[in-house]
């Protein structure tokens, strides 16, 4: 128990010293908390101690995440002139698109992160709130990307634009955005291509699309299972695309998404939604409390 006590103290102080709880720290903590629980139960020691310890750890971690989220949301806040004092309440731009403004949301991320799936989930989310939403497929890199978006969009009854013959993603995204702007859509979501890793070519393409369609918001889609790689990946994408929000996917599986907190800290950008499955409605609004609870058990 003495050894466990030492490890626990070390783990807690390492968390206190972190600006954010990263994947490694959360895994270490998880392991320590589990072994402490087991040891206490075996020795018939009171289980309340475990609960107190967990509560203490959560109490330290949660405010850090809430503070990070709040700070980074304020940088991407939407100012509603009609909201009066309520404007003080922080509302992320991407959480409340306005009717009649043709807001363009561009999605970026590595191949396989879940961009195409998330585009349709997001479209469905806005559609259910009464907004007129359309999807543009600017992924000309991955074979079958347009077919996938087309299938998803059709299932979700969301109008879409793409091409089997045009190979220039900048041209396609511009055509799509112009078409849906002219048709007065409220939200136009542009799905861009990814690569297996961060590449200059991908970042160059992203910048060109951004220059062409001038998105109101760029969203990074991050695979929840990538662990510590989240920090470097989000930093690189931030530099190239200056995204204003993060969506973490695949949190229905084994991944607890601790790495995503490092991404928030590294880029000062908030998480807005979580992907929790492969289906249309598997999108949850991000909230620090349940996220941290899941992370630390």
The site for ligand GDP (CB under 6 A) is made up of 109, 111-117, 194, 249-250, 252-253, 275-278, 282
Q: What is the smallest separation between the CB atom of 46 and ligand GDP, expressed in angstroms?
A: 39
Nearer to ligand GDP, 67 or 278 (CB): 278
The CA distance from 128 to 54, in Å, is 38
Q: What is the smallest separation between the CB atom of 253 and ligand GDP, expressed in angstroms?
A: 6
| Token output for 203 | 């970042």
Q: What is the smallest separation between the CB atom of 116 and ligand GDP, expressed in angstroms?
A: 3
Classify 22 as helix, strand or coil. coil
Q: What angle do CA 139, 233, 212 make, to 5 degrees?
A: 40
Q: What is the smallest separation between the CB atom of 226 and ligand GDP, expressed in angstroms?
A: 12
- What residues have CB less than 8 Å from 143, skipping those under 6 apart? none
Nearer to ligand GDP, 113 or 156 (CB): 113
Token pair 């020795």 in the structure block, residue: 43
Query: Where are the extended beta strands (E) located within 157-268?
Result: 160-161, 187-192, 217-223, 245-249
Q: Evaluate the CA torsion angle 79, 81, 103, 158 in order and state its sign.
A: positive
Nearer to ligand GDP, 102 or 210 (CB): 210
Q: In what order do the strands lie in the sheet with 283-285?
A: 160-161, 133-138, 187-192, 103-108, 217-223, 245-249, 271-275, 283-285
Nearer to ligand GDP, 11 or 248 (CB): 248
Look at residues 171, 197, 114 and name the one whose alpha carbon lies nearest to residue 148. 114
- What residues have CB less than 8 Å from 129, skipping those under 6 apart? none
Nearer to ligand GDP, 32 or 206 (CB): 206
What single-letter DSSP state applies at residue 80? -
The CA distance from 36 to 258, in Å, is 21
Q: What is the smallest separation between the CB atom of 21 and ligand GDP, expressed in angstroms?
A: 21
Nearer to ligand GDP, 25 or 113 (CB): 113
Nearer to ligand GDP, 159 or 277 (CB): 277
What single-letter DSSP state applies at residue 156? H
Q: What is the smallest separation between the CB atom of 138 and ligand GDP, expressed in angstroms?
A: 11
Nearer to ligand GDP, 186 or 191 (CB): 191
Q: What is the smallest separation between the CB atom of 215 and ligand GDP, expressed in angstroms?
A: 17
- The secondary element (H helix, E strand) that includes residue 273 is strand 271-275
Q: What is the smallest separation between the CB atom of 78 and ligand GDP, expressed in angstroms?
A: 26
């Amino acid at each position: 128990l003495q050894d466990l006590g030492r490890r626990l103290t070390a783990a807690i102080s390492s968390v206190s010293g972190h600006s954010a709880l990263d994947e490694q720290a959360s895994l270490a903590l998880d392991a320590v908390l589990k072994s402490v629980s087991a040891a206490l139960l075996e020795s018939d020691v009171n289980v309340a101690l475990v609960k107190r310890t967990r509560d203490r750890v959560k109490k330290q971690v949660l405010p850090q995440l809430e503070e990070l989220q709040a700070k980074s949301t304020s940088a991407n806040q939407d100012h509603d002139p009609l909201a009066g004092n309520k404007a003080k309440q922080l509302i992320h731009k991407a959480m409340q698109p306005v009717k009649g403004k043709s807001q363009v949301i561009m999605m970026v991320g590595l191949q396989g992160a879940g961009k195409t799936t998330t585009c349709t989930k997001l479209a469905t989310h806005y559609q259910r709130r009464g907004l007129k939403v359309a999807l543009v497929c600017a992924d000309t890199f991955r074979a079958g990307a347009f077919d996938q978006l087309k299938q998803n969009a059709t299932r979700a009854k969301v109008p879409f634009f793409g091409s089997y013959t045009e190979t220039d993603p900048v041209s396609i995204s511009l055509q799509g955005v112009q078409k849906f702007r002219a048709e007065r859509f409220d939200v136009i979501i542009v799905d861009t291509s990814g690569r297996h890793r961060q590449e200059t070519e991908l970042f160059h393409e992203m910048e060109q699309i951004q220059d062409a369609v001038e998105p109101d918001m760029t969203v990074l889609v991050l695979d929840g299972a990538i662990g510590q790689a989240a920090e470097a990946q989000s930093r690189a994408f931030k530099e190239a695309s200056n995204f204003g929000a993060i969506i973490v996917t695949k949190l229905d599986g084994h991944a607890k998404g601790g790495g995503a907190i490092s991404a928030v800290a590294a880029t000062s950008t908030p998480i807005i939604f979580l992907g929790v499955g492969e289906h249309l409605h598997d999108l949850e609004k991000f909230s620090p409390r349940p996220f941290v609870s899941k992370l630390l058990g």
